[in-house]
Structure 1
Amino acid sequence: MNLTGLTYRIAPYREAKLGHGAYSWVFKATERGSDKIVALKKSRVSTKVKRPLLRHETRILQLLKGHATIPSVYAYGQLEHFEYMAMEILGPSVAERQKKNGIETGVMLTTVIRIMDQVLAGLEHIHSLGIVHRDIKPENLLCSLDNSTIKIIDFGISKPFPKYEPFKERRVIVGSLYWASLNSHNGIDLSYRDDLESLAYIALFLLRGHLPWKPRPHEESQLHSQEIVRHMKSSCSGKDLSEGFPVEFGDLLDYSRSLDFNQLPDYGMFRCLFASLAGETSDGQFDWTPCYTQTVKFILDEPKVEILDEDEDEDDGDDLGEDSYIGMDIDIARGGSR
């Protein structure tokens, strides 16, 4: 396939597939002429859709380029039923690395500190350019091929920071249920603080190997799951979740929850705090050695919740002239044109 003058060849399906998300698939591909190996992201979309998801993500990545935590994007193209984005190929995600260690198994403290330092630096860069990621989770933090750098991916639902006061009207959360901020659960517009809260959950999860709220059963309604997890998150402070570990990790959670809607976090303060914890650390590869911690397990009674109206919008299949992602067009937000 030809993307903006570049041609890519995908290997046979079983060999080429690297992963998939809710709206897209990722394949290993080769750039003809240079034989460069890339990750080719593919998403189904009509040519009549005004602002396709991968085009939006490509523009975000182009805006953010130049930072160590931002993957390189090489090309974008669209065919009749699909759009494609060629980008830097990366290694396993933090989620995959942790999962290999085993259920409820933690990660080495020095590794968690290095991950936090790099992602905090990445978020500072992203936020300084007026972008809110809105879906920070272990699956979206990938290791570089040399296992020394964390790359932040999946900017499909990222959007420019809203220049108005937050409002509450949504009942369905933005992002991923397990890692979503309390503001997301409460239907409040997301801002910089919410990316930070999700990062704090990741740090605590990597240290502990688990969090008190568990993944919900598939047969449970979306709104019911959201309400149960919201109650459980509301019951846990950073101090509670960091018991047995350096308090700085719990402080990060409590701090993120204390921020105002339009307030930029003090990333440098927490990077310094984590650096003081780490002492002398290697800049080489991450150490994913399993860490069997003796943490106090939270036993929270699952709340009984009643959802009065669980009717959800149904997809009528008419996507003509519609956006394929949630949010304002990045060019319009920055004063440009579509």
Structure 2
Amino acid sequence: MTSPRRIHPNRYKGNPHGDRSRRHSSFDNNHAGLSLGSRDVIVAGQWVVLGRIGEGSFGEIFEVRDINTHRHYAIKRERRKENGGSQLKHENVMYDVLAGGDGIPQCHWYGHFDGFTCIVMDLLGPSLGQLAQSVSCMELDIATDLVSQMVSIVEHIHSRGVILRDVKPENFVFGAHLPPLYNDNDGVKPTCKQVFQDYWCTNDPKLYAIDFGLTCYWRDPHTGVAYSDTKKHIRDKTGTARYASIQVHRGNLPSRRDDLESIGYILLDLVLGGRLPWAGVHAKNSKAGWDKVWRVKVDTPLSELCAGLPQAVVDFIAYTRSLRFMDQPDYDRLRGFLHAAAAGPDHYNQPDQIVTSPPPLSNETDDDHYELFAMDDMKHHLPTVPETPKKVGWNTHKRLDMTDWTND
């Protein structure tokens, strides 16, 4: 186990499976029949590189085939740094810490190859974010089932003393390897239920959490003692503004409550079809974007934010906002809210009023504590056709760009 890891603002942003809107399904396997040849790249004498399937700010991800079992995996790589720092090294540690939990992918190898730090992991399917963009609507019962899985996965992560700090749909992926989700049937998208019936033949798809690059410990991994709130204002925001908790917007140290509040915003995003009130915010840079999104979150009453949705959805978000820094979340209660939302008002016994008031807005205007990224978060809610990436080889390097208001 490494030494205790606390909050480090300047961590990377990235999806370990790359940008899922641009990844190839393993069914798009033009490389599947490759035989070993002089031009094949074989990592660590075991994995044949088939082609690049995604990228992130950390580096790139490739699909590989085990030469012994012929099974397909994903390999992530980042160029080795002179100072020895490695995002993937930290992620490898996190896979060891979280191993064995439901919804946690398996890490198969970590090491160095061809001037890169590499990690081999399970090859998984499309992300929840990709699914949301590929359907015309997501029914409430499906959304609550998927979010309930997310709560359980995050509960396991928290039980190992870790918080995610960047909870978003792109960081939860399905286990099945599927054809591309989007079918252009005269521009008409299917419903989520139609996708499940047509492609998965099941109404119970399983989610996995990925991207542990921004994770940190909420308690000392050696003693098990929870870290206390330092009350220190954090000016470098971590995560994705769209789903960040109010406390993170305020600059407070993140804890378990913040992961769960982010899940609440994901639930709203799914059932509202991406039409969150702050989805239309425009800003010239990352700091201004974070500040504007924060103000909309604070100024929008929960009753208005959840208009037309069951009271249990309101109570889910209200509960996460009511938690204090050191509080142990009641994960069963959260799953109960989700079950009640899907079951309907006749099956919901509303709890005593959950009192929560957003913290006051700060007048903080310092710009030099924010890293600026080129992004357009607002495009996330618009109907788009996932871009088909150009397959390139191991030795082709591409300049990376950012795609969200995500600080690292």
Range class of TM-score, shorter chain? 0.7 to 0.9
The one of 48, 65, 70 aligned to 1:30: 65
Shift of 1:61: 1.4
Aligned-pair RMSD on alpha carbons?
2.6
Distance 1:106 1:129 in 2: 35
Shift of 1:130: 0.6
Question: What code does the residue aligned with 1:86 have?
Answer: V
Tell me the residue number matched to 1:132. 163
5+ residue gaps, structure 2: 1-40, 178-199, 220-226, 345-361, 373-406
> CA separation of 1:47/1:81 partners in 2, compared to 1, >3 Å: closer, same or farther?
farther
Q: For residues 84-142 of structure 1, what are the alpha-carbon distances to aligned partners after superposition, in whole Å with 9 as ceiling and x for unaligned?
A: 111111111111111112xxx53111211111111111111110111000110011010
Work out whether residues 166 and 239 of structure 2, in 8 Å CA contact, stay in contact via their aligned partners in 1.
yes
Structure 1 vs Structure 2: percent identity of aligned residues?
A: 28
1:55-70 mapped onto 2 (5 Å cutoff):
55-70=89-104
Moved more, 170-179 or 122-131: 170-179
Matched, 1:53 2:117: no
Q: Secondary structure at the match of 2:277?
A: coil
Tell me the residue number matched to 2:402. none
Shift of 1:24: 2.7
> CA separation of 1:79/1:311 partners in 2, compared to 1, >3 Å: closer, same or farther?
same
Distance 2:108 2:60 in 1: 17
> CA separation of 1:313/1:195 partners in 2, compared to 1, >3 Å: closer, same or farther?
closer
> CA separation of 1:72/1:261 partners in 2, compared to 1, >3 Å: closer, same or farther?
same
Moved more, 134-143 or 237-246: 237-246
Distance 2:314 2:272 in 1: 12
TM-score, normalising length from structure 1? 0.76
Tell me the residue number matched to 1:333. none
Matched, 1:106 2:120: no
Tell me the residue number matched to 1:212. 277
Tell me the residue number matched to 2:258. 194
1:109-124 mapped onto 2 (5 Å cutoff):
109-124=140-155
Question: What code does the residue aligned with 1:211 have?
Answer: L
Question: What code does the residue aligned with 2:236 have?
Answer: V
Shift of 1:160: 0.5
Shift of 1:226: 1.2
Runs of 4+ in structure 1 over 3 Å off: 276-280, 305-309, 312-315
> CA separation of 1:106/1:306 partners in 2, compared to 1, >3 Å: closer, same or farther?
farther
Work out whether residues 141 and 153 of structure 1, in 8 Å CA contact, stay in contact via their aligned partners in 2.
yes
Tell me the residue number matched to 1:183. 247
Matched, 1:96 2:130: yes
> CA separation of 1:223/1:276 partners in 2, compared to 1, >3 Å: closer, same or farther?
closer
Q: Secondary structure at the match of 1:205?
A: helix
Distance 1:313 1:206 in 2: 29
Work out whether residues 24 and 43 of structure 1, in 8 Å CA contact, stay in contact via their aligned partners in 2.
yes
The one of 39, 47, 60 aligned to 1:8: 47
Tell me the residue number matched to 1:78. 112
Distance 2:169 2:212 in 1: 14
Tell me the residue number matched to 2:216. 159
1:269-288 mapped onto 2 (5 Å cutoff):
269-279=333-343
Work out whether residues 236 and 369 of structure 2, in 8 Å CA contact, stay in contact via their aligned partners in 1.
no
Work out whether residues 47 and 80 of structure 1, in 8 Å CA contact, stay in contact via their aligned partners in 2.
no
Work out whether residues 224 and 307 of structure 1, in 8 Å CA contact, stay in contact via their aligned partners in 2.
no
Work out whether residues 91 and 145 of structure 1, in 8 Å CA contact, stay in contact via their aligned partners in 2.
yes
> CA separation of 1:252/1:273 partners in 2, compared to 1, >3 Å: closer, same or farther?
closer
Moved more, 190-199 or 166-175: 166-175
Moved more, 154-163 or 246-255: 246-255
Matched, 1:244 2:308: yes
Count of aligned residue pairs for this structure pair: 283
Shift of 1:31: 1.7
Question: What code does the residue aligned with 2:368 have?
Answer: D
Q: Secondary structure at the match of 2:46?
A: strand
The one of 172, 176, 182 aligned to 1:141: 172
Question: What code does the residue aligned with 2:252 have?
Answer: I
Q: For residues 240-283 of structure 1, what are the alpha-carbon distances to aligned partners after superposition, in whole Å with 9 as ceiling and x for unaligned?
A: 22211112222111111110101121111121332344459xxx
> CA separation of 1:39/1:237 partners in 2, compared to 1, >3 Å: closer, same or farther?
farther
Question: What code does the residue aligned with 1:158 have?
Answer: T
Distance 2:272 2:365 in 1: 35
Q: For residues 59-105 of structure 1, what are the alpha-carbon distances to aligned partners after superposition, in whole Å with 9 as ceiling and x for unaligned?
A: 1112112122111111111246421111111111111111112xxx5
Question: What code does the residue aligned with 2:46 have?
Answer: T
Shift of 1:47: 5.1
Distance 1:24 1:246 in 2: 42
Work out whether residues 58 and 73 of structure 1, in 8 Å CA contact, stay in contact via their aligned partners in 2.
yes
